[in-house]
Amino acid sequence: MELSWTLKIVGLVAILGLAAGMTSSLLGIGAGIIVVPVLSLAWDKVYESPQKLAQGTALAVMVPMALAGALRYHFGADVEDWRTAIPIALYALVASAVIIGVPLLFARHIGCTDFLGHVSWKTAATMSIGAVVGSVWLGAPLANALPTDTLRAVFGVSVIVVGIRMLGWHMFIISLLNRVGAA
């Protein structure tokens, strides 16, 4: 079963990419922390292997997002510097299309077409645009504007929250909070 691409779905995927790009360039973490859980849950009833598809798609989105974020940090992250931001965003998207597309075309050219296909390329392409915008115009400029101690604190809290979530302790903590609130 294939996902129906409506304008609403395109917008939601682009917003997810925007959040991923902003978080990634703000904290220097992979966006898979945001993208994989959301896509995996969203695709749970749609695809046979939603977790694998979500992970592969998140990895594909990381290419343009990481490239845009690294260049934005290198060349400066002033939010008002459009003369730097626009070429970085365009370069990241075009370079990533070449970096990812050439091996795919080469594989097809030599007859390697029987793959599992654990990447949703439509999702990755749409999300990449949002991720590059989030990285270039939101995350990197915000990180540049924040004091180092604030960035460290936000990063530390993020790591703790993600760690709790990944260990599955969030349900335990929620049940404790519910008990305390009921008492």
- In one-letter notation, the amino acid at residue 78 is D
- Does pLDDT of 1 surpass 70? no
Q: How many CA atoms lie within 13 A of 118 on its CB side?
A: 14
Is residue 46 very low, low, confident or very high in pLDDT (cuts 50, 70, 90)? confident
Tokens of residue 71, six digits = 């260049």
Say if residues 36 and 54 touch (Cβ distance below 8 Å). Answer: yes
Say if residues 55 and 118 touch (Cβ distance below 8 Å). Answer: yes
Q: pLDDT tens for residues 63-119? A: 999 999 999 999 987 878 889 999 999 999 999 999 999 988 888 888 877 676 889
What percentage of the chain exceeds 70 in pLDDT?
Answer: 95
